[in-house]
Structure 1
């Protein structure tokens, strides 16, 4: 089989590629140091499985996954050190075949490769747990206000829509920022969307 490994840390990428090439059923491993390079290699080669890091320069692993789903038919495994629920949810929505953490052995990664080639999915249990335990901290009223904030409404617009005073909307907004650890309105809306709360 032909694999693609896209990882911006060259030492890690080289080591992983060497280990994968030692496996009997791996014929070739192509390497990419960023997301754009990964897309170019997918365009010009017949690849069975793409193994992508999430955070890479130029385009992320999630961007590459979304591009592959639009243009090519191959299996995609995302490996990451980040247990971020937003990343995981975006990958699942985009049809990732496997989403696993980097702290695994080459034999475990080979097992994941065979799992996806057999048409099955694999997600790290730690990610499933963090996804389930991420409860929305916002009250129903805060959710309504954040929904209006995400539509670009001003405090006065929100006050008029929900029959509240401007000061009350301000209080709710600062409570939303605190609960989501956000610094501004745009960031609050993005965090809530990433977590699937909006």
Structure 2
């Protein structure tokens, strides 16, 4: 099998060279390019056709959000947002633009490698350290100090198009989507619903197709926007 082709996008040269050095030691990963802004990222995707793009958010010329939107629209490349999170207030716009997940810039080497392989394999990625904050900020449930507040009884229903998409799901598919929004893996969903993991995979595929989304992250966004899931559930 050919290696996973990766394009690195960051305006900090030291980070670029560090990521490239780490990835160059892996036989199943190939760095096909290193660029420093969103405009170059778009051109790099067109030229190199990577499988995965590690995309910074705050960059000159064109930021990572707009670059992600173009990359997702024009190619099959999957985008992982690289973030310090506390500084990236528009992370959710990047996810809605089609990013397959995000990773903290201070993540361990193994986490970085696992993320690239997982996203290249069609999975979505949410860094566990910030998953609760992602959910909280998306649904507007934050305390005065900016931290997550996970005790709210409900979430305000989201936009009509999200709610309408959910009506296409069967009861069991809705059950699966709710558990996806809670961060459960396929194996955990299977155990919770007393079905096989293969059955769960089928349900997940059906959910993604009916909602018209690329991966699990986008499905979770729909679930929260439509009020099907809520923090602390």
The TM-score with structure 1 as length reference comes to: 0.63
Residue 28 of structure 1 and its aligned partner are, at CA, apart by 3.2
2:15 equivalent to 1:12? yes
Change (3 A) 1:8 1:48: same
1: distance between equivalents of 2:71 and 2:120? 16
Name segments (4+ residues, structure 1) moved above 6 Å.
none
Whether the 8 Å CA contact 2:7–2:52 is kept in 1: the answer is: yes
Q: Which runs of 5+ in 2 are unaligned?
A: 144-224, 226-233
2:103 equivalent to 1:106? no
> In terms of mean alpha carbon deviation, does 82-91 or 21-30 score higher?
82-91
Whether the 8 Å CA contact 1:77–1:99 is kept in 2: the answer is: yes
Structure 1 equivalent of residue 75 of structure 2: 72
Structure 2 equivalent of residue 90 of structure 1: 93
Structure 2 equivalent of residue 52 of structure 1: 55
1: distance between equivalents of 2:142 and 2:80? 28
2: distance between equivalents of 1:91 and 1:56? 13
Q: Deviations over 1:149-173 (max 9, x none)?
A: xxxxxxxxxxxxxxxxxxxxxxxxx
Structure 1 equivalent of residue 157 of structure 2: none
2:132 equivalent to 1:129? yes
Q: Which runs of 5+ in 1 are unaligned?
A: 138-195
Higher helix proportion, which one?
1
- Give SS of 2:99's match: coil
Root mean square deviation of aligned Cα: 2.1
1: distance between equivalents of 2:122 and 2:54? 16
Structure 1 equivalent of residue 120 of structure 2: 117
Number of positions where the alignment pairs a residue of Structure 1 with one of Structure 2:
138
The TM-score with structure 2 as length reference comes to: 0.54
